[in-house]
Every structure is written in structure tokens, then in C-alpha cells.
Amino acid sequence: MQNPLNFFRSVKQELYKITWPTNKEALMGSVMVIVMAVIASLFFLLLDQIFKMGLNFLIGA
């Protein structure tokens, strides 16, 4: 078990090694997540409609 003071010193050293994303990188990442979420939702909407039409055809409604 190491000394708590040494532990916090090593944590501080590791924090300095982090490379944070720039504003542009963070914005582009957010936009990509939103775009992919919209694409996925449209895909599943289309798939759901196809299954709905197929089921309606099978049961004759």
C-alpha cells in the first residue's frame, strides 16, 4: 500500500499527460454523434415500416 500523498502526486503527474480535445474536435465529435443517431433512427423507422407492411400482408389486414 502506498502513501496517500505519493498516490495524489502520481495522479497529478498523470493528469498532466492528458491531451484534451480542442473545441473544433469536440464540436466535430458531437456533430458526428448526432448525425449517426439520426441515420440510425431513420434506418430503424424504415425497417419497422417494412416489417409492419409484411405483417399486414401476412394477416390480411
The DSSP code sequence of 28-58 is HHHHHHHHHHHHHHHHHHHHHHHHHHHHHHH
The H-or-E segment that residue 22 falls in is none
- What does the pLDDT look like over 5-57, one tens digit per residue? 999 999 999 999 999 999 999 999 999 999 999 999 999 999 999 999 999 99
pLDDT on residue 4: 86
Picking from 41, 37, 59, 38, the residue whose alpha carbon sits closest to that of residue 49 is: 41
